[in-house]
Amino acid sequence: MSAKSELSKIRNIGITAHIDAGKTTTTERILYYTGVSHKIGEVHEGNTTTDYMAQERERGITITSAAVTCVWNDHRINIIDTPGHIDFNIEVNRSLRVLDGAVFIIEGVAGVQPQSETNWRLADRYKVPRIIFINKLDRTGADFYRAFDTLKEKLDIVAIPLQLPIGAEDQFLGVVDLVEMKAIVWEGGELGAKFHDEEIPADLKEKAAEARQNLLDTALAVDDKAMEEYFENGDVSVETLKRCIKKGAISGEFRPVLCGTAFKNKGVQPLLDAIIDYLPAPDDVEGIRCAPPEGEEENENAQPIIPVDPDGKFAGLAFKIINDKYGTLTFVRVYRGVLKTGDTVLNTTKGHKERIGRIYQMHADKREELTEVHAGDIAAFVGLKDSQTGDTLADPADPVVLERMTFPVPVIDISVEPKTKDAVEKMTLALQKLAGEDPSLQLKTDQETGQTILSGMGELHLDIIIDRLRREYGVDANVGAPQVAYRETITKPHTETYTHKKQSGGSGQFAEVKIAFEPLERNEDIQFENKVVGGTVPKEYIPAVEKGIRVQSSTGVLAGFQTVDFKFTLLDGKYHDVDSSALAFEIAAKACFREGMKQAGPVILEPIMDVEVTTPNDHVGDVVGDINRRRGMIQSQETSGSTVMVRAHVPLKEMFGYISHLRSMTKGRASFTMQFHHYDPVPRNVAEEIMAQSK
C-alpha cells in the first residue's frame, strides 16, 4: 500500500465538550465497539481507559487529554479525549492544534453550554472540521430539537441533522438515518452491539422527508457536479451525498449533527461511521502554517503552509509533555516525512539538536513500541532533553518552524513551601517538571518573602497540582490561601528623567535616561521604542535600558504586582566615557521606572470572570441578588424549561468559595461554571484594601 493511500485511512480526532456532557463515556463505547477494550469502563465506577490518573478516577472528571488508537472499517482512528473543565482548557487548546477533526458532544437536556462555546471558538481559531453528537437523549428532559436550536443561537452556525431520534427519554430506541433514509434500532440492553435497520416509523416519515430535503439543499450546494446529478435524477446516490457532506464539514460551510445516548450504548456505531465518512484524513486538510520570524506579527497570508506529506523531510509539532516513571514523554504530531528511532532532529524553536530514543504508540497510560512514525501519525518520543509544548522538531536539512501555540493567562496564585527543609530541592525540581508539562501553570519566587508562587487557571487546577506533587513526587507542602493574580498599569502618559551617579573611590557609575511612559490598550503587553538620536546613549547600552524596565515591571509601584499594557520610549540620555556601563544604565532605567510610574496614574487591575449559573426558577432572585453583592454585572438571563441560566461578569476576588454558598442558597440544585474574561481596574476602596495588605 502506498504512503498516500495509507494516509487516507487515518483519522486524528478529538472528542470535546462541556463538563459532564459524556466525552469519556463516548470514548469508552468507541473503544469497546472497535475491540480495543473488552469491558466498558464507567466514569462513576472510576475504571475508564482515558481517565487513568488517580485524581481523575476519584473526582470523575477528565484532567489531562489522553491519546488512544482504534480501528474501525479498516481505518485507524487516533482519538484524544479532552477535559471539559475550564481549569484544564490548555489541554483542549493544544489538542485541537494538532488534530484534523473533532467530535463536539452536546448534552441533550442543556444544549450548548459555556465550555462548549469556548472550545468551539478555539476550534474556529485552528480551523478544525467538526461533527456534532447530541448525547444523553435517554435523560429525563432531553429534547433533541431544543438542543439542536441552541447550536444556531449560541454558536451561530449552519447545522444540518444527518439523523433524527426515534423516541425520547426512556423511550429512546434509535435514529432515522437521513443519508440512507432508514431507521436504525438498537436491540435490548446487550451493550448496544446489536442493532438492525428497518422502515422509518410512520409517525416520522413526514418529518424525515422534510429533514432529508433540507440536507440535500444544504449539502449539494457545495458541489456543482452533485447539483447536476440531482437535477437530472431528482435525487443523488448515497456516495455523492456523503462526498458533499464531507466537503461541507471540512470547509465549515455547515456542521453535520448526529444523536444518541452513549451511556445506553445507542448511536455510537453510526458516529464511528460518520468519523470515517465526514471527518478528514491528514491529507484532506491544508496542513499547518509556518510561524512568522521571531519578533514579527502573525500574518495568515504571509506564512507558507506545510502540507501533510509522507515523502518530505521530517517535521512535527510537540504538543504535550508527560513525566512518568519511565522519564519524559513528548507527544508529537508528525506533519511531514518519516522518523526512525535513533534519528537526530533539530528543535527549530530553540535551535538545538535532539536524538530520538524510543518511540511509542500511546494507548492512554499503556504503550506499544514503534520503530518509526510517518506523516499523519501521533506518537510519544522518549529521550528528548529540552523540547517543550509548542516546539517544532524538524530535519536539520529543512529547519521549518511551525505555527506557535497561544496559552491562557493564569489568574490565581498560591504560595507553596515544603514541610521539611530537606525537601526544598525536591519540590523545586518537581514543580519545574509539572510546569514543563503544563504551560498554563507558572512558577515564580516572591522577591521579598522568598516563597515559591504557583499561578494557575483556577482553584481546582492548583488543587490537582498540589495533589500530584504529594502523590507522584512525594513532597508534602504547606499551601497558602489562593490569591488573585492582580496586575498594575498606568492611565496617563508621563516623561521622566533620572540620573544615576555613584562615586566611591576608583571608577564610579554614571548613567542618565529620559523615558516616556504611555498606557496601551488591554492585552497589548509591554512595548519598547528607541528614539535616541546623535548617540547620547551609546547603542551597546540600549538593551540594558530595556532590560532594566522589563525586570522592574514585574514589581509595580502601588502594591508590587506585575505592571502590564504600557509602552516606554527612550528619548534621550547622557553617558560618561569612563564611568558609564551597561549595569549603570540598567540601574538608571529601574529607578526611572519606579519614579515615572508613580506620576503616570497607576491603577490596580483585577481578573473579571465570565460566570454562568444554572438555577431552578424559584431561586433566580437569590442568585441575582448574590451576584450583585459580589460586584457582579448581570449580562443575560435565559429560561430553558424550569431552569434559568444567569450569565454575569464577576471579579475573581469575590468568587472564592462560591460553590458552597450557591449550594446552600439553592438547596444544592444550582451549578455554575466560570472562566477568565478580561482585566479591569479595581474600585478605589478595593485598591486601598489591596495596598494596605501589601505593606
Binding site membership for GTP: which residues?
Answer: 17-24, 81-85, 135-138
Q: What is the DSSP string of 331-382?
A: EEEEEESEEETT-EEEETTTTEEEE---EEEEETTEEEEESEEETT-EEEEE
* Cell numbers linked to 599: 506620576
User: Based on C-alpha coordinates, what's the Rg of the chain?
Assistant: 28
Separation between Cα atoms, residue 476 and residue 462, nearest integer Å: 14
Collapsing DSSP to helix, strand or coil, 36 comes out as coil
CB-based contact 559:694 (threshold 8 Å): yes
Using CA atoms, how far residue 363 sits from 58, 79, 81, 438, in Å, is 21, 10, 11, 20
What is the residue type of 240? Answer: T
Using CA atoms, how far residue 391 sits from 163, 299, 319, 330, 348, in Å, is 41, 19, 8, 10, 7
| Closest among 88, 114, 119, 83 to 462, alpha carbons compared | 88
Cross-strand bridge partners of residue 159? 255
| Closest among 692, 595, 621, 609 to 658, alpha carbons compared | 609
In 108-179, DSSP assigns E strands to 130-135, 159-161, 163-166, 174-177
Question: What is the number of other CB atoms lying within 10 angstroms of the CB of residue 398?
Answer: 15
What is the residue type of 331? Answer: F
Per DSSP bridges, beta strands 483-484 and 477-479 are unpaired
Separation between Cα atoms, residue 439 and residue 349, nearest integer Å: 16
Separation between Cα atoms, residue 579 and residue 567, nearest integer Å: 29
Binding-site members are: 17-24, 81-85, 135-138
Using CA atoms, how far residue 307 sits from 6, 75, 289, in Å, is 16, 21, 9
3-state secondary structure 541-564: HHHHHHHHHHHHCCCCCCCCCCEC
- CA 590 from chain centre, in angstroms, equals 36
CB-based contact 268:260 (threshold 8 Å): yes
- CA 226 from chain centre, in angstroms, equals 38
Burial of 555 (C-beta count, 10 Å sphere; 0-12/13-18/19+) = middle
* Cell numbers linked to 438: 503544563
Q: What is the DSSP string of 594-654?
A: HHHHHTS-EEEEEEEEEEEEEEEGGGHHHHHHHHHHTT-EEEEEEEETTEEEEEEEEEGGG
- Give the ranges where 18-143 is alpha helix by DSSP (H): 23-33, 54-59, 89-98, 114-125
Separation between Cα atoms, residue 536 and residue 511, nearest integer Å: 11
Separation between Cα atoms, residue 22 and residue 2, nearest integer Å: 37
Per DSSP bridges, beta strands 487-490 and 566-574 are unpaired
Q: How far apart are the first and last CA of the chain?
A: 71
